[in-house]
A and B are shown apart, each in its own frame.
Chain A
Amino acid sequence: QSVLTQPPSASGTPGQRVSISCSGSNSNIGSNLVYWYQQLPGMAPQLLIYKNTQRPSGVPDRFSGSKSGTSASLAISGLRSEDEADYYCATWDDGLRSVVFGGGTKLTVL
């Protein structure tokens, strides 16, 4: 059972906008920065969004992150077939004194 809650799956058609939620509590998302990772099939995860909204160089601006209270969200606009992957949110938990991950969301491009 993950500390952060994500929907297990999401889907969209090419060109659509999809959003993936990540729900936590005051001890984690509510008081810390959120990170998002993309894991392509058979590959190691890659940093996608850091510090709630920032994109590492090389990440298209189709990917955006937001945070409000104890929840965060990853949005992908102009969906493309190569976006089909697993997406994980992560943050620091002040009570556990460790990084915590969400359970992951499998994005399918129909």
Chain B
Amino acid sequence: QITLKESGPTLVKPTQTLTLTCTFSGFALSTHGVAVAWIRQPPGKALEWLALIYWDDDKRYSPSLKSRLSITKDTAKDQVVLTVTNVDPADTATYYCAHSAPGYNNHAVYWGQGTLVTVSS
């Protein structure tokens, strides 16, 4: 059974760096073709794809946020970490991590429950 869970701060001040951790089970990020993605959703708004890391450590980022995002993995801990630098109130959102299986073209198959992050002074 594949599960993912996001963790991190619920409140961050503007200009700070946000660090979120996705802890997963039921799959190995070292398996060929597997990837983990981060997707966010501002309150009442649409989903926004942020970043993805592959089993071989290749990475993809949203072009509009690329300069502020970093995604890394710790295969031994079954974790993926997303950092967002210089946050702004517009970064207030529920952040989801998701598993992408081989053959699913980088798309999310299993999702975590999400974690709400508020950016406010």
Where the two chains meet, the residues of A that have a C-beta atom closer than 8 Å to any C-beta of B are 2, 32-33, 35, 37, 39, 44-47, 50-51, 56, 88, 90, 92, 96-104
B 22-46 binary contact with A (CB < 8 Å = 1; else 0): 0000000000000001000000001
Interface of chain A: mostly helix, strand, loop or mixed: strand
CB distance from A88 to the nearest CB of B (A): 6
Interface size on B, residues (CB 8 A): 22
Comparing B7-15, B81-89, B101-109, the segment that makes contact with chain A is: B101-109
Where the two chains meet, the residues of B that have a C-beta atom closer than 8 Å to any C-beta of A are 37, 46-49, 52, 60-63, 96, 104-114
Q: Are B111 and A2 in contact (CB under 8 A)?
A: no
A-B contact count (CB 8 A): 60
**A residues less than 8 Å from B63 (CB atoms):** 96-98
Chain B's closest residue to A99 (CB) is B49
Interface of chain B: mostly helix, strand, loop or mixed: loop
Given A92-B106, A100-B49, 11 more contacts at CB 8 Å? A2-B46, A37-B108, A44-B96, A44-B111, A51-B105, A88-B46, A88-B47, A90-B47, A92-B107, A98-B49, A98-B62
